[in-house]
Chains A and B, each alone.
Chain A
């Protein structure tokens, strides 16, 4: 064992605070939340201990047992057993246990101890345990387990100090023994005996949790609360964001005028900055407030411990359509982005259930769709109040999100029928204690979301917008041309060609052009529309007013058709790449892309034709 590069593995049951401890020790900012299954792959970090030693630390997915039942648990087992390819067995295992739930967590501690490797037990959430009146005799527990025990509070600054000092002091010596297989019953009996000697527990559950759960988990009121909550979120996205959006829009317009003011108005450089950069990026950037409001609610719900309750409420319905209750968290993650959602399916044991969840995850409305939805809704749906309380635009946004959920359930049902699956998979899920969200964590989460969005705007979206501007500008119009220059460009010609395919669903050539770069990331389509329309017209005001422009030029049927397209279309190559990686099959990628494009076209066709017939 090297003294300068000791390898430490953080293991424990799901949702015991391993990643929060990892962040405390390494200064990292890995995602944490108050539900099981957030970490599905191994994360590595390093930190310098007070003694000056560099320590490598591994954050492993939560596991209830080494008898792995899902791919994420298998990673933890293989690392601890020293079987993980390219990875030596850890020099020290820090077993993290939730001090409020030792009855469940100690069983895994015993399994880890039987590995015969140096182990330190971190009793996490000690603050919550004290609040609940749980008294733990730490010295006695350490003696009974035969491993050092330290108290930690991973969510508080300095809460891992004792652990760091213990790790830094020395590696506990152990007598190497062969891995001892013990039956589950034996382990449970040992846990009961240890608890009887070392822990005083006033009551098994928290009284407040029980009181809240009586309402939140009620089969009728619970669903009503969930629906109201979702509805309120989408109302807020529209109602709260507008003033900030107006400010950003005005700021971009002023910046555009200032930057391009000194350039000749008919120069290519002026066009690149004005029609490409400011029209394109500006059109996307204004949606930052709406994205942050959506994530504010998601982060609060994640931290509070409500989400597993929602999974419990919806389990029966999900089972009926062929999804396991464990699919809830991956599908919920897909509301942020389908990529972590698809990766989170590693917590699903059954490969067929996992594949079904992977195939329907792209139907969840990811945050990249939000700019497209809100652009079209703001342009075509009147800002009316319905029944004196609700905002009509918010209702439409809620409906679009609901359409995504409903179509995912429908597709899962079809897959269930096709595979003739009669098997049952019970949902066993831990319901964590409710927790008041930490303001600092929420602020950090929002800051990170803002950075991610701005990096996308300044990275791939800017790059594709510039390329689209180039393709929309060259070759230039021939002498004596009467149409706008874009009509003669590569992009213009491509758009006209695609129009043959998309005209039955109401898309004009400008939309067709925007769909192509939009394949890289959905919100690029908004930037592309901004650029294409700025290149098509002579009015500079177009740059900051894409919404009113499309409201004037498109029919309502076209707008509704485009909305329907974005509910289904797999307009994101990264999602398809992750499906390839997680399923190890191009066939599954073809199936996902094929059915999603097919559904998108059919839905848009129906929407467009019906809307035209009714108007």
Chain B
């Protein structure tokens, strides 16, 4: 395998992995936050090497972001997650 092919393979692997990560974060924000929190906690455990713990801290997700990152943008409210009470779910009562 030539050097060009080696470098090319590494670049493509990196780009595809980064794209998969972005898509995962955008399309499944809650799941990805959960997974990242779990991975981060696992890496950041006591007894791990300093570099691994530092990586764990970096991977620790910030507050979950709003769900509109991929779909709209026009809502103007993307950012830190609103409290759960922010949404006003529908409640139906039987008619009398």
- Chain A positions within 8 Å of B, measured between CB atoms, are 29-31, 41-43, 71-72, 74-75, 84-87, 264, 267-269, 272, 333, 336-340, 343, 346, 351-352, 354-355, 449, 452-453, 455-456, 459-460, 462-464, 466-467, 470, 520-521, 572-575, 577-578, 581-585
Binds A, one of B22-30, B37-45, B46-54, B57-65: B22-30
Q: Tell me whether B90 is interfacial, beta carbon within 8 Å.
A: yes
Chain A residues with CB under 8 Å of B71's CB are 337, 339, 521, 572-575, 577-578
Chain B facing A: main interface SS: loop
Judge whether B12 and A467 touch: CB under 8 Å: no
Chain A residues with CB under 8 Å of B55's CB are none
Judge whether B92 and A352 touch: CB under 8 Å: yes
Nearest B residue to A269, CB-CB: B8
Chain A residues with CB under 8 Å of B23's CB are 460, 463-464, 467, 520
With beta carbons under 8 angstroms apart, the residue of A74, A470, A520, A575 that contacts B27 is A520
Judge whether A337 and B72 touch: CB under 8 Å: yes
- Name the distance in Å between A473's Cβ and chain B's nearest Cβ: 9
Nearest B residue to A367, CB-CB: B74
Chain B residues with CB under 8 Å of A520's CB are 23, 26-27, 70
- A455–B72 Cα distance when bound, in Å, is 11
The interface centre, meaning the residue of A31, A460, A582 with most chain B CB atoms within 10 A of its CB, is A460
14 A-B residue pairs with Cβ-Cβ distance under 8 Å, sorted by A, are A41-B86, A87-B83, A269-B8, A269-B12, A333-B74, A337-B73, A339-B72, A460-B22, A460-B26, A460-B70, A462-B19, A573-B70, A575-B71, A581-B67
Known: A460-B22, A467-B16, A574-B68. A355 touches B90 (CB 8 A): yes
With beta carbons under 8 angstroms apart, the residue of A31, A74, A338, A459 that contacts B22 is A459
- A337–B67 Cα distance when bound, in Å, is 14
- A296–B37 Cα distance when bound, in Å, is 42
Contact indicator per residue, chain B 7-26, by CB within 8 Å of chain A (1) or not (0): 01101100110111011001
Known: A43-B77, A452-B73, A520-B27. A584 touches B22 (CB 8 A): no
- Chain B positions within 8 Å of A, measured between CB atoms, are 4, 8-9, 11-12, 15-16, 18-20, 22-23, 26-27, 67-77, 82-83, 85-92
Nearest A residue to B68, CB-CB: A339
16 other A-B residue contacts (CB within 8 Å) besides A85-B83, A449-B74: A43-B77, A71-B88, A75-B86, A85-B85, A264-B4, A268-B9, A269-B12, A339-B71, A352-B92, A354-B90, A456-B70, A456-B73, A462-B22, A464-B23, A520-B27, A581-B89
Judge whether A340 and B67 touch: CB under 8 Å: no
Number of A-B contacts (CB under 8 A): 129
Chain B residues with CB under 8 Å of A578's CB are 67-68, 71
- A333–B72 Cα distance when bound, in Å, is 11
Chain B residues with CB under 8 Å of A41's CB are 77, 82, 86
- A578–B87 Cα distance when bound, in Å, is 10
- Name the distance in Å between A191's Cβ and chain B's nearest Cβ: 30
Nearest A residue to B22, CB-CB: A463
Known: A452-B73, A455-B73. A470 touches B16 (CB 8 A): yes
With beta carbons under 8 angstroms apart, the residue of B8, B70, B72, B83 that contacts A459 is B70
- A86–B88 Cα distance when bound, in Å, is 16
- Name the distance in Å between A420's Cβ and chain B's nearest Cβ: 10
Chain A residues with CB under 8 Å of B19's CB are 462-464, 466-467, 470
- Name the distance in Å between B53's Cβ and chain A's nearest Cβ: 29
With beta carbons under 8 angstroms apart, the residue of A339, A466, A577, A584 that contacts B90 is A584
- A40–B83 Cα distance when bound, in Å, is 14
Chain A residues with CB under 8 Å of B9's CB are 268
Chain B residues with CB under 8 Å of A346's CB are 88
Chain A residues with CB under 8 Å of B8's CB are 267-269
- A575–B67 Cα distance when bound, in Å, is 10
Chain A residues with CB under 8 Å of B92's CB are 351-352
A-B pairs with lowest CB-CB distance, top 5: A574-B71, A584-B89, A71-B88, A452-B73, A337-B72
- Name the distance in Å between A331's Cβ and chain B's nearest Cβ: 14
- Name the distance in Å between B21's Cβ and chain A's nearest Cβ: 8
- Name the distance in Å between A573's Cβ and chain B's nearest Cβ: 6
Nearest A residue to B15, CB-CB: A466
- A574–B89 Cα distance when bound, in Å, is 17
Chain B residues with CB under 8 Å of A585's CB are 89-90
Judge whether B85 and A84 touch: CB under 8 Å: yes
Judge whether A339 and B75 touch: CB under 8 Å: yes
- A227–B27 Cα distance when bound, in Å, is 38
- A84–B82 Cα distance when bound, in Å, is 13
Judge whether B74 and A351 touch: CB under 8 Å: no
- A583–B90 Cα distance when bound, in Å, is 5
- A84–B27 Cα distance when bound, in Å, is 30
Nearest B residue to A588, CB-CB: B90
- Name the distance in Å between B46's Cβ and chain A's nearest Cβ: 32
Judge whether A452 and B90 touch: CB under 8 Å: no
- Name the distance in Å between B25's Cβ and chain A's nearest Cβ: 9
- Name the distance in Å between A591's Cβ and chain B's nearest Cβ: 13
Known: A41-B82, A582-B87. A466 touches B70 (CB 8 A): no
Chain A residues with CB under 8 Å of B69's CB are 459-460
- A493–B15 Cα distance when bound, in Å, is 23
- A466–B16 Cα distance when bound, in Å, is 6
Judge whether A581 and B87 touch: CB under 8 Å: yes
Nearest B residue to A84, CB-CB: B85
- Name the distance in Å between B79's Cβ and chain A's nearest Cβ: 10
- A43–B87 Cα distance when bound, in Å, is 13
- A456–B82 Cα distance when bound, in Å, is 22
Known: A460-B70, A470-B16, A521-B70. A351 touches B91 (CB 8 A): yes
- Name the distance in Å between B48's Cβ and chain A's nearest Cβ: 30
Chain A residues with CB under 8 Å of B75's CB are 337, 339-340, 343
Chain B residues with CB under 8 Å of A272's CB are 12, 15
Judge whether A269 and B11 touch: CB under 8 Å: yes
With beta carbons under 8 angstroms apart, the residue of A31, A42, A464 that contacts B76 is A31
With beta carbons under 8 angstroms apart, the residue of B67, B76, B83 that contacts A577 is B67
